[in-house]
Amino acid sequence: MSTARNPISRRGALIAGTAAAGIGIGIGGSAEAAAPAEHSRRRALTPLQQAGQRVIFSYPGLTPPQSLLDAISEGRAGGVIFFGENISSLSQIATVVDQLRQAHQASPVTAPLVLTTDQEGGQVRRLPGAPVLSEKEVGASANPEAAARDAGTGAGQNLAGVGMNVNLAPVLDVYRKAGDFADQFKRSYSTDPAVVGTLGKDFVTAQQATGVAATAKHFPGLGSASSSQNTDLRAVTLNVSLSQLHSTDERPYTSAIAAGVKLVMLSWAIYPALDSHLPAGLSPTVVQELRGRLGFTGVTVTDALEAGALSAFGTSAQRGVKAAGAGMDLLLCSARDVSQGEDTVTALAAAVQDGTLDRAAFDAAVQRVTALRNQLA
């Protein structure tokens, strides 16, 4: 973790879930119909506001600070990710979500905020209740497909209940052996990529039917990582052959994409078979693998910009610029520090203005994010 004030890694926080539930939302309406009006509105945005549409903020504790509310009301934030430390009760988190939405009413941006968390199931839950089973337990159940559908429905209803509209799940990592990185917290359905693909598809379809967008992660796959290869903490290189990446690790994504998954999160591991130097989420080659070979046209989202795996790539803001340049649409500033998001927005705006980031590619990313957000409530 790059932020001294928060020594807990993102995955450490993942295992430390918390409480809430209660209000409905949905993916509905026509993104195509809304796009022209939103495009006209967006052309009037300042560079900082345009950059802000690509950044997901986080904050410490139970109360959103005024700096976050200001960023939202001024149109400089695309959304917020919630962690266990942000939630104490059902009424509290529902009130927070309402507060963020009220701040957004003053924004020049009409597209709803992305309001997201990790509700995978098992140990990795922010909200109490569904899905209770972990992915491994789903895969080992008597009727895995029904269990995956139940988990997706439960996750979606749970998030919608407190006004959240994007879930950073399901995990599509294909674990290799008991106790490895993907298996140690029971976050993988199976060692069989076909099973992972089927159950991931079932989860995605069921969850998105509730109106909550799903996120397949961590492309192209962390299933070959050992128990000590945690990208939150350090650089990780996964020496998997290209044929194995295609036949095993990437295979579940074909099913999720066919099911219409709205977002894909890329990992921070390095895959020499694709790019020997850059972590996946900083690599144009890996992003093109997802968009070109697999045909994904939705929104790409980074894992935590403060991750230890990125220690050689500058500040969080500099990493955000590199990720945007590689083709990542949404940038996840999850250090529970509003200034991380603000610094990333400032760096993105400067990079577009000085030509570091291509303007056409930048606008295309904003359009993909806006199209997603216009489907959310």
- What band does 216 get if pLDDT is binned at 50, 70 and 90? very high
pLDDT at 7: 36
How far is 58 from 43, CA to CA, in rounded Å? 27
How far is 323 from 346, CA to CA, in rounded Å? 15
Mean pLDDT, residues 19-34? 37
- Residue 164 in tokens: 């959240």
Tokens 């796009």 found at: 35
Of the chain, the percentage scoring pLDDT greater than 90 comes to: 86
Q: Tell me, what DSSP letter sits at residue 264?
A: E
pLDDT at 88: 87
- What band does 89 get if pLDDT is binned at 50, 70 and 90? confident
pLDDT at 44: 87
Residues 6+ apart with CB under 8 A from 7: 1
Quote the pTM value.
Answer: 0.91
- What band does 345 get if pLDDT is binned at 50, 70 and 90? very high
Residues 6+ apart with CB under 8 A from 121: 130, 131, 132, 133, 134, 135, 137, 138, 151, 155, 169
Q: Which of 40-54, 64-78, 309-323 has the lowest mean pLDDT?
A: 40-54
How far is 84 from 61, CA to CA, in rounded Å? 9
Residues 6+ apart with CB under 8 A from 190: 139, 174, 175, 196, 199
